[in-house]
Amino acid sequence: MEILAIILFVSIFVLILYGYPVAFTLGGISMIYALCFLDAGSFSTLPPRIMGVMTNYVLIAVPLFIFMGIMLEKSGLAESLLETMAILLGRIKGGLAISVVIVGALLAASTGIVGATVITMGLISLPTMLKRGYSPELATGTIAASGTLGQIIPPSVVLVLLASVLNVSVGKLFAAAFLPGVLLVVCYILYIMIKARIHPESAPSIPLEEIQAFKDKDFAAKVIKAFVLPFLLIISVLGSIFTGIATPTEAAAVGALGATLLTIFQGKFNLEVLKSVLTETTHLTSMVFIILLGATTFTFVFREMHGDEYLVNLIREADLPAMGFLLLVMIVVFVAGFFIDFIEIIFIIVPVVAPIFLELEIDLIWIGILLALNLQTSFLSPPFGFSLFYLKGVAPPTVTTQHLYRGIIPFVVIQLVFLGLVILFPEIISLLQFSL
C-alpha cells in the first residue's frame, strides 16, 4: 500500500508534466487509486475534509488579495511610481534600474501577484530603459527579478497558500517574510550599483534637462500622488496585521477596498474596469480553489495509503540528518519550479514533506520562508522560468531570449546565495515575528 502511494505521487507528477489539467489530475487520479485500493468506509472522512477547506476563514484572503492586485494593476499606479522614482534617482548611474527594483518591491507589497507585476513592469519600464541606453541584459534581468518579489514580500498569495498547507499562522509567516524580502531588495540594488560603476555604458543616467523639466511641473504634487497613497495602502494592510488590529483576512478586505478607492482617485475607475477586475479575480480564484480541492483529495488518499508514514520511516532508516532532508526538498522544489507552477508545487509536494519536517522538529515558519524564496528563484531560472516567459511575451522583438537568460543569471546567483544565508542564519526571519 505504501509503494502504491509513492506510485500515485509519481504518476500525478508525470501526468502534469505531460500537460493534463492540474486540478482534475490531482483529484481524478487520486479517486481512481482510492476506488481501486482503499476500503469503501474510508471515503466517509473525505467530505468533512473538503468542507473544512471550503470553510477555512483564512483562505477568504486569497480572492481579496487577488482582487486588490488586479485592481491596482488597472489603476496606473506602477506608471506614476516608476516615472517619479526614476526622476528622483535620475542622476545616479543605474538610477532607473534601481527605480524599477523599488517600484517592483512596492507593487509586490501592494499586489502579491507575480505574473501581473512582471507584465506591468515589462510594458511600462522595458521600452523606457532600452530607449535610455540600458543594456537589454540588465534591463530584462532587473524587471524579471523585481517582478518576482511578490512571491516573498507580504501580502503574498504564495505565503497565504503555504500557511494553509503548512497549518501555520498567516500573520506570523507574513512577519517572518518581511525582513528577507527587504534584504533581497537591498541585494538587487547593490548589484545594480556595482554593475553600473563597472560598466557605466550599460546603465546611463537621465539627462539633467529632462529631470529639470519634470520638476518644473507640479513636482511636489506628483511625488505625493505617486508615493503617499500606495504607502497608505501598504501600511493599512501590513500594519493592521503586524500590530494585531486585524487578521490577514480582514486586512485583505481593507486592501481590496483601498485599491478600489485608489483607482477611483487616479481617475481610472469605471464599470468596464470593475467588470474586468471581477472576471479576472473569479477566474484566478476558481483555478486556485479547484486545485486546492484536488490537492485535498490527493493528500487524503496519500495518507490513507500510509504514504506519509512510509516516507518518514524511509528518512529514519536512511539516517538522513534534518539538514540533509531539507537540502533534498529544496533541490526537488527548485527543479520542479522549472516545469510546473508554484500552486501545483505548494499543493502536491509541500503536503507530502510537511509531516516529515514536523517529525524532524523543524520550524515550519522557517520552512515556509525557504520554500517561498526557492519558488521565487525557480520562477527566474533559465530555461523554463515563468517570469522569463511573462517578460518575453511583452518585450519588443529586439530583445531576444539570450538577452533574458544572460540578464537573469546574476539575479539567480543572488537568490541562491541569499537562500543559503537564510538556511545558515534562521534568525533573519525571526527578528520581525510578532506575537500574532
pTM for this predicted structure: 0.75
Give the model confidence (pLDDT) of 274-284 as tens digits.
999 899 888 87
pLDDT in the model for residue 434: 42
pLDDT in the model for residue 430: 65
- Choose among 304, 354, 291, 294: nearest CA to 4: 304
Does the bond joining 230 to the residue before it have cis omega, within 30 degrees of 0? no
Q: How many domains does the chain have?
A: 1
Three cell numbers, residue 229: 497613497
> Residue type for 302, please?
F
pLDDT in the model for residue 109: 67
- Choose among 368, 353, 340, 278: nearest CA to 23: 340
Average pLDDT, rounded, for the chain: 80
Q: How far apart are CA 13 and CA 344, in angstroms?
A: 9
Q: Is 155 contained in some domain? A: yes
Q: Which stretches in the chain have pLDDT values below 50?
A: 434-436
pLDDT in the model for residue 310: 74
Three cell numbers, residue 80: 506614476
DSSP H or E stretch at residue 354: helix 350-359
Q: Is 436 contained in some domain? A: no
pLDDT in the model for residue 436: 42
Beta strands in 217-275 (DSSP E): none
**Scanning the structure block, which residue is given the C-alpha cell 500590530?**
243
Q: Report angle CA 185, 390, 111 to the nearest 5 degrees.
A: 50
Q: Which domain holds residue 256?
A: 2-430
Three cell numbers, residue 79: 506608471
Q: Is 435 contained in some domain? A: no
Give the model confidence (pLDDT) of 396-433 as tens digits.
888 888 888 888 999 999 999 999 998 888 877 765 55
Q: What is the DSSP letter of 20?
A: -
Q: How far apart are CA 258 and CA 266, in angstroms?
A: 12
Q: How far apart are CA 403 and CA 387, in angstroms?
A: 14
pLDDT in the model for residue 435: 40
Q: Is 129 contained in some domain? A: yes
